[in-house]
Structure 1
């Protein structure tokens, strides 16, 4: 077991350092580790079977639908209307543009379910506007990177669907409900940092808009925001499943972008669908490869060994949970969210449940940890996109990110040690 685990870890990270795609790195590392226990033919057949079996889940059908709906909304002028709505409501407050940035990322992330999409759509508009208003470009980029990750918690979220599969059957609808309060808490914490930063720096206040203009901007954004009500309301009400909700989201996004807002031409749809297919293929290959690795870990009893080792570190459950959080933050800084969820859920979930944490609470804690990693160097995809939009270097936005990291970490600790934040809404709705 020790040799298999060592080969798995060493080969995996060696391939990552060589810039081999992560799905290929996982697959090759798994194959080489399996060759320690069996011949080439049974090893390759076993990996193929596990990869196919990992994709044999009805719940995974929701992912391509939500990916496609997110891409349509990203091109459909929805981000612009959400920004204008947020600007009308809170733009005149101290740090108004930074607050608008956070709220817009929260709303667009919730609608699209993608941190990368939120970064591109909101950042492309907000970063130039914040620069014009006198905000430091590095601070603006840091705010966008941190705020974009809130869409991982606020449903519909693809990564919550992946966790539901990895955990062995947690209700997707319950997970969606569990993500609302923590996601909003992260957004509010980031807004508090932005407010304080703006007061210290003395950024100018934007003029207050007349109530008629505010009402108009809010009215224009309602059709976009209604998608959340449609999808989540239908799931909670038992009208349709999360997978069916994804299909309905695609239809609604098409109507909104093509017919209502008229921002997407019909001849642009094939390109959008091709991009959705490419993104889905990448995600599915990650899931398939990670499933094979997870099976190997279980076959070698590595999760049980690590779980027992963690439980022997201390008798204090608070300390063990803190250690798990720190490990997950480090993992999130180096590993993509999808394989991280699939690989580390079977390792840490048994420990968390033994310490009295529910599967819902652990899932939200896991996703928030990995969300922090998503905007952390050296691998965080959101960071590189933000730096490209802001035309700045990665090292320049680390310092303004530090107070935002601190705010997210405080929320993480609250979620870790107080189950109410994750479970209040699911309990109230009968999940």
Structure 2
């Protein structure tokens, strides 16, 4: 992990081993003439012990099948997956993998499972810091459909590159069950828990109707969806995707949120700083047209990393330092022709981390977001969740902790976005 005063890889090239740089692929199939679009994504993290709930990241997997469910936001005739060993320190050996349409729980619809191959091999080895892209398989998909990906690891993986808070149940079975439609073997899951995704970084589709460029939602737990319904897919990016479909303008919406993430500093259990991972998690996705930036409240309310068990204070946060960080993201996005929507920081009065000093910084940042004109457009999530301007999220719109929205709160956030501001 980098020092607390995080480097800025958006402006300074990094080495190939860095997870923010273009890491080597274990298997990248030839795709000449084929246009791939991001249908689903997860921002990956270094393995760590979560302070809130159990995960399998630190122990990894050995002679086990991992079954993961995702909801795609674009359709097509073919599909492929992206796997990441970005934070691995040893080669990752994947013995077998499959994909199919989700039935219920860990079950897959019979007849829909497609074995996944990598450079025409059923297995692959991903080097430390590397990635792998599966060969395309014919599996027609449509927006908001759920797909199940099963990965089988015969050999011990060691600690796993993962995404901590998926709000989706992940299942585990002993032995090789990556071709099994039945849920019978998948008796192991974290219970109770908020779920995690392991090694899975993206699902992409091609074919079918032409697709517009993707919208990437970038941020912390309010984008990741903490407080949403487990297995309900009702985070704000989900609600935005459904609004676009209802409006007759379906478009891929990719969720690049990480719970506890900060804009300016790394966190042991909250991921690399936003300015460090923006290049990978936003600009590195295929055909991105717009990014919605909602990040900074953790810089304000979490002034150290002790939540993650690390005895370290972050550098003092000011409104100007946050604004400088946003400007870095805006410059990087504009250099790639990506439109940037700035989201105001949402209320958190009444939560454990609220202070009067922090509220002053939040107000200063929100004033700049609304009035500076430096973003291409503004999504006023602050007013969406607190129309009366009280500095509090009303009961019913938060999950009883005064900072994380409830499903109704996430819907209010999505409804506050002017669809025309997303471009195209």
Tell me whether the two structures share a fold, i.e. TM-score over 0.5.
Answer: no
The answer to which structure has the higher helix fraction is 1
Query: Computing the radius of gyration over CA atoms, which structure comes out larger, 1 or 2?
Result: 1
User: Which TM bucket (shorter chain)?
Assistant: under 0.3
Q: Which has the higher contact order (CA 8 A, sep 6+)?
A: 1
Q: TM-score, normalized by length of structure 2?
A: 0.26
TM-score (norm 1): 0.26
Larger strand fraction of residues: 2
